[in-house]
Amino acid sequence: MSISPSKMLATLRVNGRDVTLAFSPNATLLEVLREELRLTGTKHGCELGQCGACTVILDGTPVLSCLTLAADAIDRPVETVEGLASDGSLHPVQRAFLELGAAQCGYCTPGFLNAAVHLLENNTEPSEEEIREALAGHLCRCTGYTKIVEAVSLAGRRMRASADE
Amino acid sequence: MLRLPAFDFQPARSVDHAVALLAAHGNNALPVAGGTDLYANMKLGLFAPQLVIGLRSIAELRTIRFDPQHGLRIGALCSLDAVARDPAVALHYPALARAAAMVGTPEIRNMGTIGGNLCLETRCNYYNQSAEWRKALGYCLKRDGDLCRVAVHSATCKAVNASDTAPVMQAYDARITLVGPLGERNLAVRDFYQNDGARANVKRADEILTEIVLPLQASGMRSTYRKLRLRNAFDFPLVGVAVTLATDAQGACTQARVVLGAVTSAPFEVEAAGSLLRGSHLGEEIAAGAAEEVFKAGKPLENANASLLYRKRMLRVIAQRALEDVSHPLR
């Protein structure tokens, strides 16, 4: 039996907004986010699940959008780096990355931010070991990781302090 | 840019629905669970199904249940992260929790499933390459060619089973359930795999793996999993060693299994190591002897990202460390 794949019309829930659009069944979530929705904050890296640059939050967990079909993300909330800042102010993790120089060329940064925010939402007091484990799937060729780990730790302390207020 | 080849996608609502879709589309369809391995392989041109059947939507296969009479039942679609974090798994089958936690990265463990890891496509330096790379070389026995590039006189493909959980499942004597159009069949993990890299398990194209059952372990059972990899943050095993070991009240070993991963196309049980351990009181000397048996029996080939001599030598070291894991509290 031959099947001719045609585009489907579907609704994705991205950063809290429902968007209805057409895409092919073989389109990855990464391709749809960048090419259809123009949310280019999510980066194309290795495209094979080895670098973490394309990490987004799907159903509340970090996943690789290069290995997720957009068709498999229908009706499941997707959070991208564009959704982190609110009302014009950066997320504490973004602010810490900025202040400590945890982003250099910036290509890996959106993936790191999503993984770090997910970690801190579940544990604002992670040990260095826990931070490194949560970020194990992310490659950075610039920073040497030290600044990134420090930034996540700093953001956790600030999130904890503001939760205590 | 690496794009997926064109295909149609249909999420399955239930096991029956998935089986019906597979039966209707024959060899033109492939089931996908987490997709972390299959989609990467599809981008490399290794698979080009016309229909991809999504299994993620089958909620009935996402439960983990422990029963003190019968053991542990794991739905095949449980994520590796869910398996690694499950309290009953950690308490009763710690080697499985360890192995699941060592697969890939946090993102891959969120996406990847236990069933997918057990059905992991075998890997080889001459196979997991781009379409252009493989074409330039003239392909290999596993796909599109007639010569094994690793063992040129071999009639069978030598790609390795690089699953971290498969050797552990075999060491626990786990069983799996396959469901197809003819019904259900239940197999021991050791009978599920076969030592042929081109056809590494006996699952038929129209079947899906639905459940894994781990039998209740003897009291006093200890188990572990160790793996060697180039980057500890994230990599497939260069060699893996799973050990299960039970002792009686006097500390004598009553049951022992040592199963290697990533050495051959199927998990490989080193019988000589198990028989040396059984009846003994595990100490440094016995552990060294069992590790020596692993070193002698394990014959990796030049098909992974480290030389075969390094992998072979490290088999002894990794086996020794695994035996230390299970012996330490007994001393």
Q: Would the CB atoms of B39 and A28 count as touching at under 8 Å? A: yes
Q: Look at residue A2 in the predicted model and tell me its pLDDT.
A: 43
Domain closes at, from A24, A49, A83: A83
Domain closes at, from B9, B35, B59: B59
Task: Count structural domains, chain B.
Answer: 3
pLDDT at A3 over 60: no
Helix (H, G, I), strand (E, B) or coil at A30: helix
Q: Residues B200, B161: contact at Cβ < 8 Å?
A: yes
Among candidates B316, B312, B313, which has minimal Cα distance to B293? B316
Task: Count structural domains, chain A.
Answer: 2
Residues A132 and A102 in one domain: yes
pLDDT at B153 over 60: yes
Q: Look at residue B134 in the predicted model and tell me its pLDDT.
A: 95
- What average pLDDT does this structure show over A28-47? 97
Q: Residues A77, A137: contact at Cβ < 8 Å?
A: no
Residues A29 and A48 in one domain: yes
Domain closes at, from B39, B59, B79: B59
Q: Would the CB atoms of B111 and A63 count as touching at under 8 Å? A: yes
Q: Look at residue B112 in the predicted model and tell me its pLDDT.
A: 98
Q: Is A3 within a domain?
A: no
CA A25 to centroid of chain Cα atoms: 22
Q: Look at residue A59 in the predicted model and tell me its pLDDT.
A: 96
Query: Taking all residues of chain B, what is their mean pLDDT, rounded to a whole number?
Result: 96
pLDDT at A165 over 90: no
Residues A96 and A155 in one domain: yes
- What average pLDDT does this structure show over B236-248? 96
| Chain A CB contacts of B35 below 8 Å | 67-69, 72
Q: Look at residue B26 in the predicted model and tell me its pLDDT.
A: 86
Residues B103 and B31 in one domain: no
Cα gap B53→B4, rounded to integer Å: 15
| Long-range interactions of B136-139: CB distance < 8 A, separation 24+ | none
DSSP element (H, E) containing B192:
helix B189-192
Residues B90 and B210 in one domain: yes
Domain closes at, from A58, A83, A108: A83
pTM: 0.96
Cα gap B54→B10, rounded to integer Å: 6
User: Which residue does chain B place closest to A112, by CA atoms?
Assistant: B107
- Residue B40: give its domain's CATH number: 3.30.43.10
Q: Which of residues 16-55 of A touch B (CB under 8 A)?
A: 24-28, 31, 44, 47-50, 52, 55
Q: Look at residue B329 in the predicted model and tell me its pLDDT.
A: 56
Report phi then psi at A48, rounded to 5. Answer: -125, 10
Domain containing residue B254: 221-330
Q: Is B149 within a domain?
A: no
pLDDT confidence of A5, banded at 50, 70, 90?
A: low
Residues B70 and B177 in one domain: yes
Q: Quick: pLDDT tens for B156-211.
A: 999 999 999 999 999 999 999 999 999 999 999 999 999 999 999 999 999 999 99
Residues A99 and A76 in one domain: no
Residues B306 and B241 in one domain: yes
CA B295 to centroid of chain Cα atoms: 20
Buried b (16+ CB within 10 A) or exposed e, B297-320: bbebbbbbeeebeebbebbbbbbb
Domain closes at, from A20, A48, A83: A83
Among candidates B98, B263, B86, B74, which has minimal Cα distance to B165? B98
Residues A106 and A130 in one domain: yes
Residues B33 and B175 in one domain: no
Residues B114 and B41 in one domain: no
Q: Quick: pLDDT tens for A100-151.
A: 999 999 999 999 999 999 999 999 999 999 999 999 999 999 999 999 999 9
Among candidates B31, B4, B261, which has minimal Cα distance to A30? B4
Q: Is A1 within a domain?
A: no
pLDDT at B34 over 50: yes
Q: Look at residue B331 in the predicted model and tell me its pLDDT.
A: 38
Residues A65 and A112 in one domain: no
Residues B242 and B254 in one domain: yes
Cα gap B198→B6, rounded to integer Å: 24
- Residue A24: give its domain's CATH number: 3.10.20.30
Task: Tell me how close the Cα of A40 comes to any Cα of chain B, in angstroms.
Answer: 15
**Which strands make up the sheet holding B268-269, listed edge to edge?**
B221-228, B239-247, B253-261, B268-269
Domain containing residue A155: 92-164
Query: Taking all residues of chain A, what is their mean pLDDT, rounded to a whole number?
Result: 95
Q: Would the CB atoms of B107 and A137 count as touching at under 8 Å? A: yes
Q: Is B316 within a domain?
A: yes
Q: Is B142 within a domain?
A: no
Task: Provide the token pair at B255.
Answer: 């049951």
Residues A17 and A79 in one domain: yes
Residues A63 and A96 in one domain: no
Residues B323 and B185 in one domain: no
Residues A42 and A98 in one domain: no
Q: Would the CB atoms of A5 and B8 count as touching at under 8 Å? A: yes
Helix (H, G, I), strand (E, B) or coil at A58: strand
Q: Is A121 within a domain?
A: yes
Q: Quick: pLDDT tens for B212-224.
A: 999 999 888 999 9
Q: Is B133 within a domain?
A: no
- Residue B188: give its domain's CATH number: 3.30.465.10
Q: Nearest-5° angle of CA B164, CA B167, CA B171?
A: 140
Count of beta carbons in the 10 Å neighbourhood of residue B145: 15
- Residue B317: give its domain's CATH number: 3.30.390.50
Q: Look at residue A108 in the predicted model and tell me its pLDDT.
A: 98
- Residue A157: give its domain's CATH number: 1.10.150.120
Residues A146 and A102 in one domain: yes
Radius of gyration of chain B (CA): 20
Task: Tell me how close the Cα of B189 comes to any Cα of chain A, in angstroms.
Answer: 28
Residues B208 and B72 in one domain: yes
Residues A77 and A96 in one domain: no
pLDDT at B328 over 80: no
Task: Tell me how close the Cα of B6 comes to any Cα of chain A, in angstroms.
Answer: 6
Residues B77 and B204 in one domain: yes
